[in-house]
Chains A and B, each alone.
Chain A
Amino acid sequence: MTITVRLPGPLLPLAEGRGEVPLSFEGATVDDALRALWERFPGLRHRVLDDQGRLRRHVNVFVDRRSVKQGAGLATGLADGAVLSVIPAVSGG
């Protein structure tokens, strides 16, 4: 499957400066896609997931326009050509 991953500014230094990454991988879920993303850019994993492999509280991942937190989480399915966006949630002070 091939999708497009979009990354926010703070993560670009860990992804060779690329805000948009075409990603081909084996599998059908967000988890599969993210594993392929970590293989390519290992430093991203600990920014997006906590030590237990859960999506960080103030990080959202969208498949096209829908947050995976509103769906099946990291088990949310993907279709070929989907856009997977990592977007920081409203947080901070």
Chain B
Amino acid sequence: MVEARHVEVEPGDLVLLVGTMKGAFLFRSEASWARWERAGPFFPGHAVYALAQDTREGRSRLWAAPESSHWGASLHLSDDFGRTWTEKPGAVRFEKETGASLRRIWQIAPAPGDPQRLYCGVEPAALFESRDGGETWALMSGLWDHPHRPQWEPGNGGLCLHTVLPPLDGGPFYVAISTGGVYRSDDGGGSWRTAHKGVRAEFLPDKHPEFGQCVHKIARHPSRPDRLFLQNHWGLYRTDDGGASWQDIANGVPSDFGFGMAVHPHRPDTAYIVPLESDAFRCVPEGRLRVYRTDDAGASWRALERGLPQEGAFECVLRDALATDTSDPAGVYFGTRSGKVFGSPDDGDTWETIADGLPPVVCVKAAVA
């Protein structure tokens, strides 16, 4: 069995978690970006679609949801940057009366403002909540019992609840489901309504159905909680009214198809995407690996390519594989299906290779220790 490598992480270090189809990795660097060190693989042989860093109240806790094609998905935590992991066997599970079984944990989301609360977005599409720091979990029945749920349809990745944006200061709670759309709760997750008016469903005869949109990712800036950016299965959108209406912001991008989307940690008009050619050819256009950034909330987008391969790079970045950290200027990071990880120390202006030769990357999460 492969031996996991470990690294020492000091306060102030940059910590990058990378989930792949065959295990999880951790990369650390000093804030200067002098050198990235690799730890892992953790959970070798397991697909790790969900990773999280819980830094609330001075914690340095990692969460991971490895998944075995034999033994299913499970939830683990580490308080020593991956040297040891503690499993919570069967903690996230469907009860008998639901008739459902957990297939995959797609997202682990610590709730801002409540250090004991966490959420898991899973497949089949559902939301689980823990109020005791992850010891016990319960299905959030308000979403599970929503009358739309039986009609949600799985996309190619399965029927997944892949994005979880818990309330900020008692504000709205958003989740995104492929294919279901964006759902919003104003009572902490008790009841839910759609929040995707204006988002098209290109693959349905009715392009604006009540629900069924294939939303690939939504991203929210903490200083403007009513503003969300959305990368759709065809379509780029922004809302400034908490999802009541969405505007098309695909202005000057080579394609509005893609998966990943992230916001700048300090500038609410700045967001990042990696356009892909089409749903039929899920590679970056022209074999040129370019991140696109808007600095005016989607009125225009600029290609960022310094340090990224611009010839023969038929890469794909998946929905949870693009992230920013909390630095200023921001660190921006993404991983590819070909196992490369790139990072930018300067808001995306220049890029460097952090890793090459990993298994296919499905998840990237960044934080400052």
Interfacial residues, chain A to chain B (CB-CB below 8 A): 10-11, 14, 42-43, 45-48, 50-54, 56, 58-59, 88-89, 91-93
Contacts and interface: CB of A to CB of B under 8 A. Distances in A.
A89 B101 contact: no
A45 B90 contact: yes
Interface stretch (B67-75, B192-200, B241-249, B251-259): B67-75
A14 B95 CA distance: 22
A56 B71 contact: yes
B69 A58 contact: yes
A92 B94 CA distance: 24
Nearest to A56: B72
Interface in B21-52: 21, 45
B88 to A, nearest CB: 10
Contacts of B70: 10, 47, 56, 58-59, 88-89, 91-92
Given A51-B96, A93-B21, 7 more contacts: A46-B72, A47-B70, A48-B71, A50-B72, A51-B102, A53-B96, A89-B70
Given A14-B89, A42-B89, A52-B101, A47 B94 contact: no
A50 B74 CA distance: 12
A40 to B, nearest CB: 14
A89 B94 CA distance: 24
A43 B89 CA distance: 5
B96 A47 contact: no
A20 B205 CA distance: 57
Chain B, interface size: which category?
20 to 34
Nearest to A46: B90
B99 interface: yes
A46 B69 contact: no
Contacts of B101: 50-52, 54
A56 B90 CA distance: 14
18 contacts: A10-B68, A11-B71, A43-B90, A46-B72, A46-B89, A48-B71, A50-B101, A51-B93, A51-B96, A51-B98, A51-B101, A52-B96, A59-B70, A59-B71, A88-B71, A89-B70, A92-B69, A93-B21
Interface in B77-91: 87, 89-90
B100 interface: yes
B362 to A, nearest CB: 13
Given A43-B87, A46-B93, A10 B71 contact: yes
B91 to A, nearest CB: 9
A88 B89 CA distance: 19
A87 B70 CA distance: 9
Interface in B89-119: 89-90, 93-96, 98-102
A11 B70 CA distance: 11
Nearest to B21: A93
A43 B69 CA distance: 17
A14 B45 CA distance: 17
B334 to A, nearest CB: 23
A43 to B, nearest CB: 4
Contacts of B21: 93
